């Protein structure tokens, strides 16, 4: 407890000698670091996943096994510009928008 006033006195001297733009930079640095961390941990992976999903949807072909966003498994029987027809059981076909396709199911 005896050394606390001495440490505070040295801290006051250090802040008094800095320039105003330096103190502004030091106060903005944690925000910049936080933004960089958010970019690499949240924004960038989400953009990458959205790009991969868009590419997968544009490459859908007849005969692909897919899983819809609602969890329905099926095989694509026809592909249109904005929709696909999926056979979910023998002689049972459903037409859905391409955006409803969540993923491709591996063949086999």
Give the CATH number, domain containing residue 87: 2.30.30.100
Question: 98, 86 in Cβ contact below 8 A?
Answer: no
Q: Which residue has the higher pLDDT, 105 or 99?
A: 99
List, as one string, the DSSP characters of 58-99. HT--TT-EEEETTS-EEEEEEE-SSEEEEEEETTEEEEEEGG
Domain co-membership, 65 together with 54? no
pTM of the model: 0.66
Average the pLDDT over 17-45 and give the result.
86
Q: Name the domain count of the chain.
A: 2
Average the pLDDT over 70-78 and give the result.
95
What is the DSSP secondary structure assignment for residue 104, as one 8-state letter?
E
What is the reported pLDDT for 25? 78
Using CA atoms, how far apart are residues 20 and 104, in angstroms rounded to an integer? Answer: 57
Domain co-membership, 43 together with 81? no
Average the pLDDT over 55-83 and give the result.
94
Using CA atoms, how far apart are residues 48 and 40, in angstroms rounded to an integer? Answer: 11
At 85, the pLDDT band (50, 70, 90 cuts) reads: very high
What is the reported pLDDT for 77? 96
Domain co-membership, 33 together with 69? no
What is the reported pLDDT for 6? 52
What is the reported pLDDT for 23? 79
């Amino acid at each position: 407890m005896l050394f606390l006033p001495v440490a505070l006195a040295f801290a006051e001297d250090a802040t008094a000698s800095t320039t105003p733009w330096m103190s502004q930079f030091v106060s903005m640095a944690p925000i910049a670091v936080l933004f960089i961390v958010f970019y690499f941990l949240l924004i960038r992976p989400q953009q990458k996943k959205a790009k991969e999903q868009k590419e997968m949807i544009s490459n859908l072909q007849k005969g692909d096994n897919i899983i819809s966003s609602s969890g329905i498994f099926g095989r694509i029987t026809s592909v249109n510009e904005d929709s696909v027809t999926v056979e979910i059981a023998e002689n049972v076909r459903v037409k859905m928008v391409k955006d409803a396709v969540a993923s491709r199911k591996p063949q086999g």
